[in-house]
Amino acid sequence: MENDNWVNKPWKGRKSLKLRKTMKCLGEQLQIGDMVPLPDSPVTKDYRASVRSSRAGDTGNIEEAESSLRESGALNYEEARALLGRYEYQKGNIEAALHVFEGIDIASVTTKMKVALAKRARIQKRRSQKYDTPPMSIHAVSLLLEAVFLKAKSLQALGRFKEAAQSCTVILDIVESSLPEGLPENFGADCKLQETLSNAVELLPQLWILADDPKEAIMSYRRALLCQWNLDVQTNAKIKKEFAIFLLYSGNEYNPPSLRFQMDSSFVPRTNIEEAILLLMILLRKVTLQIIEWDPSIFDHLSYALSISGGLWALANQVEELLPRNIDLCERHHILALCYYGEGDNFTALNLLRKLLSSAEDPTCVPGLLLASRICGENLECAEDGINFARRAIESLQGRCNHLMGVANYVLSLSLSAQSRAAMTDSERVRMQSEALQSLESAGRLTKMNDSDVIYHLCVENAEQRKLDTALHYARCFVELEDESTLKGWMLLARVLSAQKKFPEAETIVDAAVDQSRKWDQGALLRTKAKLQIAQGKVKNAIGTYVQLLADLQIQRKSFGLEENLKKEKNFNRTMELETWHDLASIYIKSSRWQDAEFCLSKSEAISCYSASRLYIAGLLHQSKGLHKAALTDYTNALAVDPSHVPSLISTAVVLRQLGNHYPVTLISYLRGALRLDRMNVAAWHNLGLIYKEEGSAMEAAECFETAWFLEESEPIEPFR
């Protein structure tokens, strides 16, 4: 018989002996001479009965063994070890299972498996059976691939993560090379092939993460999502979410997807954050379309990603698209308000918060009250509302949370300070300033002086009230708390020192900050340094510093020319360049270098022709030439662009006084208007004193001159706030 000849071959005999031992472990009793039984032969029946009796309920083993026996006529060595390994793995004998799996020479049958998969795909695609018999049944392929997967799981359990990942990769390589166009629909539905493949695809990136190989993890995630594995919707969504989380929080930056995964006109993410946002937005869209179930963590991660990347408008759009059953109305209003506030649309943000805090929704929502108060504190017209919001928050927080109570006192101080700047009388202004300082001190105690915002505003408030020694103490505390890494702290410290007329020390501080900062962050520092040099009479040095600043800004503008996501930074640099040309023009006007001043104004006009500050500098140029009417026209135009431009208000009064054809009350109204906007303006107080002196109001004039002298003695080179 053919079977007898097969058995009599020496190497086959050794394999048959191992097979008999293997089947004996499984409770099988196969006869060596009957290795090619018919589907319903006694051996098949004995095998089925033996497995049932040895492990009742192990339906998977029985079905897999039956399929292999029926289709191939015999259970070969690799399949037998696969069954035995699975049996040991299911019993929890991980090391024993791994020992069995390692005995499978998967490389020797890889070619047969690939051919079997490819032929099965062609048969299923054309719905025809007119093909040669594959070298291996689909059930055998499924059994062996499951063995490889269980081997990976065993290695994972033993902490051998890299080997486990390599084992998992074998499964994906075999299937992908056999079926380059992806698995046909319902491929391998009669066995566990799809289940094993899905499990391997999901497990592989996790194994690379455990093996501390993030680059391979990234590639595995992309492979899982971009290749056709016939994953079910939930598994695909789970992998997308895990990948997005890894991209967001892994702490490293990786290359974008390779060109072979990119399609024409498709969006290709350039950074981890962009790729994570893309994945999370796809998931959120599937939630909206009810393809997958709502998962709040998806929205939480997307909110974080868009917030740190400056995509708050996009986040607002996503919130508005969420179905009402997925997000509470109050939460929707609060998140939208945060988005609009972050993008600078305070008006819309405040309107949303007013809806949130109405009696119909949640009038005691502390986060909403705090944000509303913060927004109002940045607007002089809404300062009173800000005080009310903050006091409502304090009332709601009684006895609950000291830190939030500290924040509530902090935002209360902002609104009180804003209202003090808009106060009509000196007594009201002093009272508001005192209350603001008290609220800030309370906030400092409640936050244990660990909140940098509180300390910063303690410095600013003391400095504006000309308590410069206290302000200097808080400025140094702020710099130490920020670990000497914030330009904001260095700038504030330099301004306080300049108010104390310690210009060399302030310049040293600025130089130290320049050395510690990035090249693109030095603009504001260099401008401050130039002003300190002017205050010390180093005009040539100041001009050199301004020229250096302009050169840096020009290089930076060219570098950012193609970066759309740097719009805010580009706008900031544009404003910086505009004001730098105006500073240079002012220096040249004082030196009567009018041609140089005109050149600077032409440069600033190319940046913004409708700038109030440019029109003001043009007025100064005309005024220095004795062209008072032309200067008055410039100042008037500047006020038409910006009615709150304080220098133009003061200069208008000065020119009208020089022309001598206006009533004093008109001049006083301009100067009082300037002082309502900037109570600490030395020029406004001085010119107001001159007008009162000319009118014979000696007492009022003396008070104005005294105030101007006091403020000039403690005037910083730049406003504290």
Distance CA 256, CA 218 (A): 10
Torsion over CA of 588, 540, 508 and 463, rounded to 10 degrees?
-20
What tokens were used for 663? Answer: 């009533």
What's the rounded Cα separation, in Å, for the pair 623 and 625?
5
Residues 6+ apart with CB under 8 A from 713: 501
At 391, the pLDDT band (50, 70, 90 cuts) reads very high
Phi, psi of 627 (to 5 degrees): -90, 75
Query: If DSSP codes are grouped into helix, strand and coil, which group holds residue 210?
Result: helix
Q: Tell me: the pLDDT tens digits for 284-305? A: 989 888 899 989 999 999 999 9
Q: In the 8-state DSSP scheme, what is residue 216?
A: H
Residue 105, helix vs strand vs coil: coil
For residue 505, the tally of other CB atoms under 10 A from its CB is 15
Which tokens hold the place of 19? Answer: 């097979």
Tally of CB atoms within 10 A around 212: 10
Has this prediction a pTM greater than 0.75? Answer: no
pLDDT digits (tens, 9 = 90+) for 223-249: 999 888 888 899 999 999 999 999 999
574: exposed, middle or buried (Cβ count in 10 Å: 0-12, 13-18, 19+) = middle
Q: Which one-letter DSSP state was computed for residue 583?
A: H
Distance of CA 563 to the CA centre of its chain: 17
Q: Which of 25-39, 119-133, 276-290, 537-551 has the lowest mean pLDDT?
A: 25-39
427-440 pLDDT per residue, tens: 888 899 899 999 99
Look up residue 564 and give its DSSP letter.
G
Which residues fall within 8 angstroms of residue 183, CB to CB, at 6 or more apart? 121, 175, 194, 197, 228, 229, 230
Q: Which run of H or E residues covers position 578?
A: helix 567-590
pLDDT at residue number 191:
75
For residues 187 and 163, what is the distance between their CA atoms, to the nearest angstrom? Answer: 28
What is the mean predicted confidence (pLDDT) over 246-275? 72
Task: State the DSSP code for 344.
Answer: T
The tens digit of pLDDT for each residue in 569-608 reads 556 678 888 899 999 999 999 988 999 999 999 998 888 8
Alpha carbon 663 to its chain's center: 58
Place of tokens 């008072």: 628
CB 29 within 8 A of CB 46: yes
3-state per-residue secondary structure call for 632-649:
HHHHHHHHHHCCCCHHHH
Task: Give the angle subtended at the CA of 157 by the CAs of 21 and 81, to the nearest 5°.
Answer: 20
The residue among 546, 529, 528 whose CA lies nearest residue 603 is 546
**Is residue 185 over pLDDT 80?**
no
- The tokens of 255 are what? 């290359």
Burial of 270 (0-12, 13-18, 19+ CB in 10 A): exposed
Q: How confident is the model at residue 28 (pLDDT cuts 50, 70, 90)?
A: very low
The b/e string for 283-303 (b: 16+ C-beta within 10 A; e otherwise) is bbebbeeeebeebeebbebbb
How far apart are the C-alpha atoms of 285 and 294, rounded to whole Å?
10
| Rounded Cα–Cα distance for residues 421 and 428 (Å) | 10
217 alpha-carbon distance from chain centroid = 21
Q: What is the pLDDT of residues 84-122, one digit of tens each?
A: 999 999 999 999 999 999 988 888 888 888 888 888 877
pLDDT digits (tens, 9 = 90+) for 431-475: 998 999 999 999 999 998 988 899 999 999 999 888 999 999 999
The answer to whether residues 203 and 169 touch, using CB atoms and an 8 Å cutoff, is no
- The rounded Cα 533 to chain-centroid distance in angstroms is 39
Indicate whether 48 pLDDT > 60: no
Cα angle vertex 103, ends 101, 107, to 5°?
95
Q: How many CB atoms lie within 10 A of CB 572?
A: 13
Q: 3-state SS of 455-495? A: HHHHHHHHHHCCCHHHHHHHHHHHHHHCCCCCHHHHHHHHH
User: What is the reported pLDDT for 4?
Assistant: 38
Of the listed ranges 136-150, 480-494, 604-618, 671-685, the one predicted with least confidence: 480-494
CB–CB of 410/373 below 8 Å?
A: no
Any idea what DSSP says for residue 32? Answer: G
Burial classification of residue 583, based on how many CB atoms lie within 10 Å of its CB (0-12 exposed, 13-18 middle, 19 or more buried): buried
H-only helix segments in 256-328:
272-288, 296-308, 312-321
Give every CB contact of residue 133 below 8 A, 6+ residues apart in sequence. none
Residue 162 has pLDDT above 70, yes or no: yes
Count the neighbouring beta carbons within 10 Å of the beta carbon of residue 36: 15
Determine the number of helices (DSSP H) and then strands (DSSP E) in the chain. 35, 0
Whole-number Å distance between alpha carbons of 654 and 636: 13
Q: Are 123 and 131 in contact (CB under 8 A)?
A: yes
Which residue's entry shows tokens 């210009």?
Answer: 503
Q: What is the pLDDT of residue 536?
A: 92
